Chain A
């Protein structure tokens, strides 16, 4: 699962979380790092040694949850963006999640955003509580979400302008695609034929993943269940004259 989709299993996620008592005691880091790779900035980042020193650089991090105060220094250091901080009792109804976020533009404090699950689907609205932009490290965005979403929300998305161009070869916007999906064009091939998206110079390399995301959201189907349409030769565009010259020789 993780290897194919980048999404960990529920068992893996549960294993990364501290127990309920610790969660209730205050902010705590949650490290969703499951693959042994040569990487250790998190252990070096923690001033309280809450992330135990590594015996080998390939180790996956292990936490002493009692030492962690949820400061978030490890969040901005992890190159894999695998660490968040969760404060389940931030308010009566909301939990606070501190997320690493490397896209631009950065959100603004007080802004209402889409909270995304691990597959990138919007699942709730989230208010931006704080934005920390450290020099040369990953910005950390604090968002307030419903308490039952702490194991689901892992990213944010600034609501898009629907006039954003998805297919740059044929100037097809998000709004165009959403409108055709609503009219019943429910596969990449159908959208391609009716709008010409994916038929330009990029041959779908730029737009098809974005189109699949729109289809996935509209049809409530995971991207893994969608097909990316027919890929046609030639792989790279060639001049008619070059092909003609080659044909003459063969």
Chain B
């Protein structure tokens, strides 16, 4: 294991590998990524992997626009033979209450003003896109044809391979046991396999970012929430668009392989980093989905699992340097949409660390907003 590095990234999920990739692409050298288990072992490998540009806050619209365009061209940019399975079958946000309908209309207007070609659909138009849908509860839906979902494992691997081709080094099965400081600045990282001297550490540990920050004595305004998900047996393609509804509390997609993947937010989930599966989720999810897509009732569930949403106070990520500890950077608090924002995360963090001009409005995502009380509001988070 190497003894020194210019930059050490902690976390081998999608955020860590994208940050590594963009750092090297923008001229950084000697960048090392440390992962406790293996790439995608945390939230990245557990997520629903939906990609959408339909947001209620301009910042998220910009970030996701950039990310979606990146994913569209990722095949060429990252040169990954297998492909990342980006399926742009559209994304439907179903509205079932008057309030939700109102908010959805506002969001679509905002998105259109930013160049995102989302549109409102009547229940009949929605059913044309998803014939399986029972529209009795649905007032309308917002639809964007360029949204979709992709394969988180291959996407992470594609970034990791590109990172390594540019000279980056990845150490898996390498737990970080300490973060060392000298005169109030970062001086290195202790791992179970040895010490790496460095002046820059990037905390991209997702659900475990609070624990990583605590190694340096830093308390973050973040907490991790358990979210459950299930997958069914693979069947013939019958659902091209990804479905989501805040009021009905679910998202659902059919991946190219044929399996349906679905999740919802459950009450009373532990926030102690437990990721064991919850049977109450299974019942609630089955009930929700068979109401909306009744013909799925004969589809067999194969497996359920859970992962961590790393929640921030305003459900927007934090991209910043820890004010009291120069050299210690944070990219966390994604609140359940770190995967789809990953290219924006990678670029923004690289610009932040290397002192480059912002391509995206990442300056709004610093710690300042918590002190000033200028929280960023987002209506569209499940």
Contact = CB atoms under 8 A, between A and B. Distances in A.
Interface of A: 170, 185, 187, 189-190, 193-194, 196, 199-201, 203, 232-234, 237-241, 243-244, 246-248, 250
A13 B3 CA distance: 48
Given A240-B297, A244-B287, 6 more contacts: A189-B38, A201-B300, A232-B304, A237-B300, A240-B286, A240-B296
A239 B297 contact: yes
A88 to B, nearest CB: 45
A7 B269 CA distance: 46
A239 B298 CA distance: 5
Nearest to B82: A194
A238 B277 contact: no
B286 A243 contact: yes
A113 B342 CA distance: 50
A248 B299 CA distance: 18
A194 B300 contact: no
Given A199-B231, A240-B286, A246-B283, A234 B296 contact: no
Given A189-B41, A244-B290, A234 B303 contact: yes
Interface string B226-266: 00000111100000000000000000000001000000000
B234 A244 contact: no
A194 B157 contact: yes
B303 A187 contact: no
Contacts of A237: 233, 300-302
B279 interface: yes
Contacts of B297: 239-241, 244
A234 to B, nearest CB: 6
Interface in B112-133: none
Contact of B290 (A200, A232, A240): A240
Contacts of A232: 277, 303-305
B341 interface: no
Given A194-B157, A239-B297, A239-B298, A247 B286 contact: yes
A200 B259 CA distance: 9
A241 B282 CA distance: 11
Nearest to B259: A199
B136 to A, nearest CB: 17
Nearest to B160: A184
A55 to B, nearest CB: 54
B277 A201 contact: no
Contacts of A196: 257
- What's the interface size class on B, roughly? 20 to 34
B302 A243 contact: no
A196 to B, nearest CB: 7
Contacts of B231: 199
B174 to A, nearest CB: 14
B195 interface: no
Nearest to A250: B283
Contact of A240 (B41, B234, B301): B301
Given A194-B153, A234-B282, A244-B286, A239 B300 contact: yes
Interface string B48-60: 0000000000000
B84 interface: no
Nearest to B284: A247
Contacts of B282: 233-234, 243, 247
B40 interface: yes
Contacts of B300: 201, 237-240
A237 B289 CA distance: 17
Interface in B41-92: 41, 45
Nearest to A169: B234
Interface string B140-161: 0000000000000110010000
Given A234-B282, A250-B283, A201 B301 contact: no
Given A187-B38, A240-B296, A199 B303 contact: yes
B38 A190 contact: yes
Given A193-B40, A201-B233, A244-B290, A239 B299 contact: yes
7 contacts: A185-B38, A233-B277, A234-B303, A240-B298, A241-B290, A241-B298, A244-B286
Contacts of B298: 239-241
A185 B283 CA distance: 35
Contacts of B286: 240-241, 243-244, 247
B154 A244 contact: no
Contacts of A199: 231, 302-303
Contacts of B290: 240-241, 244
A141 B154 CA distance: 46
A187 B173 CA distance: 11
B153 A240 contact: no
Contacts of A201: 233, 300, 302
Contacts of A233: 277, 279, 282, 303-304
